[in-house]
Amino acid sequence: MSNSDLTIRVEGRVGYITLTRPKVLNAVNEAIVDGMTEAMTRWADDPAISLVMVDSDSERAFSAGGDLSAMYEHGRAGQFDAGNAFWRDEYRLNAMIAHYPKPYVAFMDGIVMGGGVGLSAHGSHRIVTEHSVVAMPECSIGLITDVGGTYLLHQAPGHLGEYLGLTGTRMNGADAIYAKLADHYVEREKLAALKARLIETGDATVISEFSSTPPTSVFAERQSEIDHAFSGETVHDITDRLSTLSSEWAVKALEAIRRGSPISLQATLKAIREADTLEIGIRNEYRFVSRVLEHGDFIEGIRAVIVDKDRNPRWKYAGLDDVPRELLALMMQEAEGGDLLLPAR
């Protein structure tokens, strides 16, 4: 099975999915979500399939995130239900990956952001390379850390998850492993041989034969400062603590937070801290995104980054203190029509 967006086939004992939208860096759209969901549902009970393998046909990116242009058009047209329908299906796929009964091997080579993290970092075997660039930059476009990302960041060491979610800081492969978003470090030149071996054996344990010790993550030396700054009770507290630090990373973190959507920043902090389980994380994420096209900053964020590309978003509220508490409460209330229900395991 294949279309212009992905290729799905069986090779040996491997259910093999390749994302094939290189011109848009494999932006996740309905065709990708629907195709992966259908194939993985079929393979879950197929005794001929030992594992699932997911990669990209482009060295530049595994996936740079969701199809923001499509969401922008839905929002501009007032088609909020269409946007919500996509998010429901995408989040259910993220949960399916997290709870999949067979090994799920994701090749996180190149750019892996937003929706791309959702298709990879929930897997059982997550492979990064020296060319990996991993990030969750949603606050910079007026969204919330989503695709189950609040749960993933909740599990990062100390308060690293809050740092990554609020700033959208880009990670290399070693950083992603340190943050618990990846498992194995494999040099790009070895990927083809590894894939061939997986197809030959259907055994995910062979990954260790190709992996190497990653370089030391910069987060290791910054962890204590990150914990101090990002343990603040509110985003305001966090920015106050960052402003007392002179480290280059802290200055950049403060600048990134100040550029982000005040609505999204506060919702993201709350959601990461509450995400004790994937189900809680996705529930809160869906509550927010189900209202973001109508009440949040998402449309303006996409305009500034994707459409006009002026990178100068005009958020609804100028600062953190300007956001009405009633709006923040509304964004995190039970979604209209009920909270998103995930498939039974």
Query: Which of 133 and 69 is assigned the larger pLDDT?
Result: 133
Whether 1 is covered by a domain: the verdict is: no
User: Would you state the structure tokens that stand for residue 26, as one six-digit string?
Assistant: 């494999």
The catalytically annotated residue of 138, 162, 285, 297 is 138
Cross-strand partners of 2:
7
Residue 157's identity, in one-letter code, is: P
pTM for the model stands at 0.97
Options 55, 90, 109, 146, the catalytic residue: 146
**80 closest CA partner among 333, 315, 345, 335:** 335
* Chain Cα centroid distance, residue 13: 28
pLDDT by residue (tens digit) across 161-219?
999 999 999 999 999 999 999 999 999 999 999 999 999 999 999 999 999 999 999 99
Mean pLDDT of the region 41-58:
98
The number of residues making up the chain comes to 345
Residue 295 CB-density burial (10 A; 0-12 exposed, 13-18 middle, 19+ buried)? middle
Using N-to-C axis directions, what is the helix angle for 160-167 and 248-259, rounded to 10°? 50
Contact indicator for 5, 27 with CB cutoff of 8 Å = no
Q: How many CA atoms lie within 13 A of 123 on its CB side?
A: 26
Total domains in the fold of the chain: 1
List, for residues 272-329, the tens digit of each pLDDT value.
999 999 999 999 999 999 999 999 999 999 999 989 999 999 999 999 999 999 999 9
Is the pLDDT score of 13 beyond 90? yes
The pLDDT confidence band at residue 82, using thresholds 50, 70 and 90, is confident
Domain-embedded: residue 211: yes
Contact 42, 4 (CB under 8 A): no
Q: Which of 114, 115, 123, 296 is catalytic?
A: 115
Residue 131 belongs to domain spanning: 6-331
Given this model, what pLDDT does residue 194 score?
99
Tokens of 283: 């529930």
Distance CA 28, CA 87 (A): 11
Q: What is the spatial distance between Cα 159 and Cα 184, in angstroms, rounded to a whole number?
A: 23
Six-digit token string for 279: 């189900």
More confident position, 173 or 82: 173
Q: Which of 35, 66, 114, 202 is catalytic?
A: 66
Residue 262 lies in a domain: yes
pLDDT for position 3:
77
Residue 260 has pLDDT above 80, yes or no: yes
Q: What percent of the chain has pLDDT over 90?
A: 92
- What pLDDT is recorded for position 75? 86
| pLDDT in the model for residue 186 | 99
Instruction: For residue 146, indicate whether it is catalytic.
Output: yes
Query: How many CA atoms does the CB half-sphere of 34 hold within 13 Å?
Result: 9
Q: CATH number of the domain at 83, please.
A: 3.90.226.10
- Has 66 been annotated as catalytic? yes
Neighbours of 327 (CB within 10 A): 17
Q: Is the pLDDT of residue 116 over 80?
A: yes
Question: Can you read off the two tokens belonging to residue 333?
Answer: 């209330």
Report pLDDT for 2. Answer: 64
- C-alpha to C-alpha distance for 209 and 86, rounded to whole angstroms: 38
Question: Residue 39 falls within a domain, yes or no?
Answer: yes
Gyration radius of the chain over CA positions: 19
pLDDT reported for residue 108: 99
Mean pLDDT (the chain) is 97
Residue 1: what pLDDT? 62
Residue linked to tokens 């055994």: 203
Q: So what's the pLDDT on residue 326?
A: 98
Residue 221 covered by a domain: yes
Closest CA to 312 of 141, 137, 165, 177: 141
Give residue-wise pLDDT tens across range 52-69: 999 999 999 999 999 988
Is residue 345 over pLDDT 80?
no
- Judged on CB neighbours under 10 Å (0-12, 13-18, 19+), 232 is middle
